[in-house]
Structure formats: structure tokens, C-alpha cells
Structure 1
């Protein structure tokens, strides 16, 4: 669909969009939409996203379940839909220039509108649409009702006012008890730090990211610093392996020396025989020839791998 030629503002362009396009944009702008980042455009704080995250959102099962939206079956169709949505200015392509001074982590980064409004999965797009106005209207209506209910509190029935009073007192009591518990556990920790070798925390998981019940389990615990992992175990094991290998090599060397002496004795006596001495080290059979006094006879000797390498 061609871009509206006579659009004078972003709002006018958005109003000209077909209803199915608006439904798709509402989905992208909702909770299931692409990941939102914060930036600064023309001195105002804005929200922007990356193109590939929008494509991934259109291919999600949540979008496939929607009705009255443009169908998207593959990545090419998702990109084509994003191209069709660009002329209606729900979002516009923006560049993220390199700042002159480094920006701290977590701070909004500066943006500027791109002169070329095309779709690229690796590019950034800034939202100029705040979502469906229905939720805005409902939220505003709810706030008005709450304010009217508070103003008209003296006109409430007596039983209802008493119930609200007890409820508010109970909530304030819980908040006060929680704050008092935090102060007590801190005071106890300070006392145990000064009087004992190890400090004690009561309800150590009180401020941890756990469930409500797990926040009070265990009831108390010693405050022990976190120990760093030591790499000495691996080094010791490596040393032990080296010692074991050197011990095996020395044993095999002694066995090979005994074999050579025994084989030379038989060769000088003129008897040709197979000599085999078992040893715990791995061995390799190599044919060798020795010449005795009465003639030459082949004598097969079993030598270790280490001896073969030395020869």
C-alpha cells in the first residue's frame, strides 16, 4: 500500500491506516511486542526497538492466534508487513550515532531520524504510537472513580467505613512490623559482630529474591563470607598424575634392562629362543638380530615403548 501523500502529521498518517494494520501494531506495542529500549530523540525520551525483534514477534505463536491481522507465515512475509507499516508512521527508522563522549551504561542513547525510511532487521525503529487508546481511557476512568470514592468517604455506610478503617490499620501494622523486624535484625547483627567471633543474621533471606514463605526460612544463620573457589585441587591432581607416570616409567625401564641382560646371556650361549618378561608397562614386540660366537641367530626380544624410542 502506498504511503499517504497528503498526510500532514504523524497522527493523520496513523488514522489512515487500515484496521488490520492497526491491530498488528497494537500487538507489537503490547506486552508481547519486541524488546523496548530508551533513547533521546530531539531532546525527548522515546522508546525504540530493533527490527529483528519485531520480525521475531510477528512469527510468534501469540500473533498466529490473532484474528483480523495480516497473515504472516515466514520471515519474508514478516519483513514485508513491516515495510507496509512504515508509511503510516507508527514507528520510524532512526540511527544511533556514535556520541563524542562515552555514555554511562543504562543511560538513554541519542537518536536521530534516518533520511532513508526502509526496513532492515539490524536497524532501529522509534515508536511514535502509544498503543490503543482504549486502555488509556479505561485507566483514566478508573482514576476518576477512585478519586470520587475518596472524596465521598464521609457518605459511605457506617459498616463499610469501619471495614475500610480496620483494613487500613492492618496494612499499616504489617508495614510497621516489617520495618521493625529489619531494624531488630540489623541491631542484633551489630551486637554479635562486636561480641562474637561470627555475626548472626535472623531471617537471612528476608531481602533475598525468594518467595514469601522462603523469606523466613531459616530462622537464623551465621554471617559467613562467601569463599572463593580454589584451584589447588586441580594442581594437586596434576602433580599426582605426573608422579604416577614417572613411577611407571622407572619400573618399565628396570624391567627392560633386565630383559636385555637376560637376552644377551642366552645369545652368547648360542641358544636362539623367545624371551618374554611381563611388566606392568605397555610393551611392543620388535624383531632384532644378534650374532653369537658360533653364528648368527635371530633372537626376538620384547622391549618397552620407551626403549624403542631411545634406540
Structure 2
């Protein structure tokens, strides 16, 4: 029944469903259990946010949406063609708390941001079909390798040798740079790295730039002097705050009790006088 309803959907509504089902929409998809089968579901407000996003605004041949009301209208229209159905979410379907939540289809269908909706549409499948065909072709090509023409087999052999040579060259560079670094650490501390960006997360060309670099430790960020003395106040400021009284800690001497510190208040003249 769902497939028949989806086939009757206008092209623009189908494109909206395809957009929401794609990863570019950013709809948070969760996994639930409906009639013992796992199924994807989402919350309504996530779909509303996707239709109001810049990614949707870049789409062509789709309804123009600028407000939340327009988004709800479009989502109600998509819901009418059973691309997704309103469901009620229950507790975990299994004994574990991490099991998928059990879902149950609600008879009254409408779209609301606070409700949950289960997907009954898998989106465009051309990538899946293309990947399957390509995998089958590769497997057949490998099985039929003895039947290949001699020129093709020779070309594959040269190609495989080139790949192995590149891998061997990479390992050789890694070993040589490590040996060179150990030598330079002993001879010319702190040491020199050849191709310091070789294992960095950069492009292929940037991995070999620069050619060499000193192994200098990273500088730690130093606090500014102004920050260290930010909370310190001068004696003059203390005098002003204490109303001309200078508070000084002195040691209290006495044989009957251990030495302790006490506060002594002394009147001093204001500096302004």
C-alpha cells in the first residue's frame, strides 16, 4: 500500500522525501522496532529544521519554504503519500535498555514537530545498484583473469609492481628519516626530521614540504604580566579601602599557647594630606 501511495506522489513531493532521506538534510535518524523489524524513525522538529536549512534552499524544483508554517504544510503533504508515518514510541523492545525502542503506527496521521515518524521510503537506490554491479564486475574480472589477453595481463602486472614499489618506497623513507633523526639527536641536538609533514593530515604534495625541519618543542602560551598583577593592589589602595587603617599580621608571643598570627590595626596618615 505504501509503494502505491508513493507512486502517486507529485515529483516535487518525492524530491522533498528524497532530500529528507539523504544525508545532506541532516535529519537525525534513530533505529526502532516495528512489528519485530528494525526501522528508521525521526522526530518531526528535525525534519522542520532540515526544510528551513540553507541546504534545502539550494535545491531545485522543490517547494519554496521560508517559514515554519510552510514547512509543516509541505511535511503534511509528504506524510499523506506514506513516505513516513506517524508512530508512537514505547519502551525498549529487548531486555537491554539500549535495545531499539518499540514503535506502533498511529491511525490518525498528521505532522507535528513533537511527534515521531517512521520511514517507509529508502530514498534513491541508484548508488546501491551501481555499487552492486561494479562489485560483480570486479569479481567476474578477477575470476576470468586467465582468459585475459596477454597485453592486459602484462599491464596489470606492471601496475601491481608499481603499487608495491610505491608502498616499499614509503616504508623506506620512514625508516631512513627515523635513522637520520636519531643520528642528528646525538650529533646536533634537538634533531632534524626529514619530511616532517610525512604523517601529518595534509595533502600528498604537502606531505613532502618542507624538506627538513628542526625538532623544536612547541612553545607554551605564556600569561601576560598584566594578568598576573590584575588582582594585586598597592598599599595606598589598601589604605583607602580600610579608611586610613593599615592591617598587618604579627606574631603573638606567649608561653602558655603556641605561636599564632593575629591582626594589628595601626592608624596612619592619609597620603593625600
Same fold (TM over 0.5): yes
After TM superposition, list the pairs within 5 Å mapping 1:132-211 onto structure 2: 132-193=124-185, 197-211=189-203
For 1:46 and 1:196, locate their aligned partners in 2 and report how far apart those are by CA, in whole Å: 63
Secondary structure in 2 matching 1:205? coil
Q: TM-score, normalised by structure 1?
A: 0.55
- What is the aligned partner in structure 2 of residue 8 from structure 1? none
1:66 aligns with 2:60: yes
1:233 aligns with 2:202: no
Please identify, of 205-214 and 52-61, the stretch whose mean Cα deviation from structure 2 is larger.
Answer: 52-61
- Structure (1/2) with the larger helix percentage: 1
- What is the aligned partner in structure 1 of residue 75 from structure 2? 82
C-alpha distance after superposition, 1:125-183 (max 9, x if no partner)? 56453322333222222222222222222222222222222222212222222233233
Please identify, of 54-63 and 197-206, the stretch whose mean Cα deviation from structure 2 is larger.
Answer: 54-63
- What is the aligned partner in structure 2 of residue 54 from structure 1? 47
After TM superposition, list the pairs within 5 Å mapping 1:1-311 onto structure 2: 12-17=1-6, 18-20=8-10, 21-36=13-28, 39-42=30-33, 51-59=44-52, 60=54, 62=56, 65-67=59-61, 69-86=62-79, 88=82, 90=84, 111-113=101-103, 119-121=111-113, 127-193=119-185, 197-235=189-227
For 2:88 and 2:197, locate their aligned partners in 1 and report how far apart those are by CA, in whole Å: 45
Question: Does the Cα contact within 8 Å between 2:193 and 2:213 map onto a contact in 1?
Answer: yes
Q: 1:145 to 1:24 in 2, by over 3 A?
A: same
Q: TM-score, normalised by structure 2?
A: 0.62
Question: Does the Cα contact within 8 Å between 2:193 and 2:212 map onto a contact in 1?
Answer: yes
The CA RMSD measured in Å over matched residues stands at: 4.1
Q: 1:31 to 1:236 in 2, by over 3 A?
A: closer
Instruction: Report how many aligned residue pairs link the two structures.
Output: 226
Unaligned runs of 5+ in 2: 238-270
